[in-house]
Chain A
Amino acid sequence: MWIALVITHGLLAFLLLGAITHQVVSVWAPVRARAANFVARYRAVGSANYANAVIVLFVANALLGAVLYTNYRISARLTLEQGRYWKSFGAFEIKEHLIAIGLALLPAYWYFWRPAALENTRTRTALTSLLAFIVWWAFLTGHIVNNIRGIGT
């Protein structure tokens, strides 16, 4: 069951990574003219359409991660400690805190992506960028730690 959960967690994280990266690229480098090539089309997505998907995927990932965390705490974490993988260990500790703070951002992120609040460009860009940083950190750290000692192995 743990392996199925960790694979589902990874797949959902991949979807979330795609959605938030699309959105953060489009807020930092919006395309004004008609998109002509792949990169321009990547930047030209309707960023507001991603907000609800990002929220649902973030919450689903956090919940799955919270369930998996119990197994990590009694198995994989011991391997990291015994193997003295302190940087990976520390990066994963930071990941858990980033996810907790990411949850706090979601209501504001949702609010500032509503059509009625679209004039708050700076706040919306900052919240989206911070959320993207959190998602990227969590994805990479989870991947690295799972490579050191995968759950269920």
Chain B
Amino acid sequence: MTKQGRLGTFVVVFAAVYSAMYYFAVDRNWALFSYGPALGEWKMFAHAASAGPTMYWYGWIATSAIVGGVAGLLACLLPQGWRDRVWPGFAWLVPVCAIGAIGYLLSGYFTR
């Protein structure tokens, strides 16, 4: 088993947790903030704009980045033995699963 440094642990956990969180943020609309481009209107959390469409994408990224960042920092605090068990492959495997799940969520556009 390879020795996992704190930075290595952070980047792997960040990629994995951010990606998983992003799927849930999209699926359940957990946006940290919302934007109405018609009026240039920003609102905290997921709230519809007063006119025109509402964009949650920026808010989903913010939610996921914060949760991923906090999880990565917490993982850095783990003892060396636990950090060594963080498989580097989680950095790509969890994002691949999140992409597959999001593709499934949007599959309706391709079967109409």
Q: What residues make up the interface of A, taking CB atoms closer than 8 Å to B?
A: 66, 69-71, 73-74, 77, 86-87, 89-91, 93-94, 96-98, 100-101, 103-105, 107-108, 110-112, 117, 119-120, 122-123, 126-127, 130
**B109 and A87 contact, CB distance less than 8 A:** yes
B: interface residue count bin: 35 or more
B74-103: which have CB < 8 Å to A? 88-89, 91-93, 95-96, 98-99, 102-103
Chain B interface (Cβ within 8 Å of chain A)? 2, 7-8, 10-12, 14-15, 18-19, 22, 26, 35, 37-38, 52-53, 55, 57-58, 60-61, 64-65, 68, 88-89, 91-93, 95-96, 98-99, 102-103, 106, 108-110, 112
User: Are B99 and A98 interface neighbours, CB within 8 A?
Assistant: yes
A94 & B106 in contact (Cβ 8 Å cutoff): yes
Whether B57 and A69, one on each chain, are in contact in the complex, defined by CB atoms closer than 8 angstroms, is yes
Instruction: Enumerate chain B residues within 8 angstroms of A93, measured Cβ to Cβ.
Output: 106, 109
Which residue of the partner chain A has the closest CB to B72?
A: A107
Q: Are A130 and B92 in contact (CB under 8 A)?
A: yes
> What 6 A-B pairs are tightest by C-beta distance, nearest first?
A90-B109, A104-B18, A108-B91, A70-B37, A126-B92, A108-B11
B92 — which chain A residues lie within 8 A by C-beta?
Answer: 105, 108, 123, 126-127, 130
Distance in Å: Cβ of B43 to nearest Cβ of chain A: 15
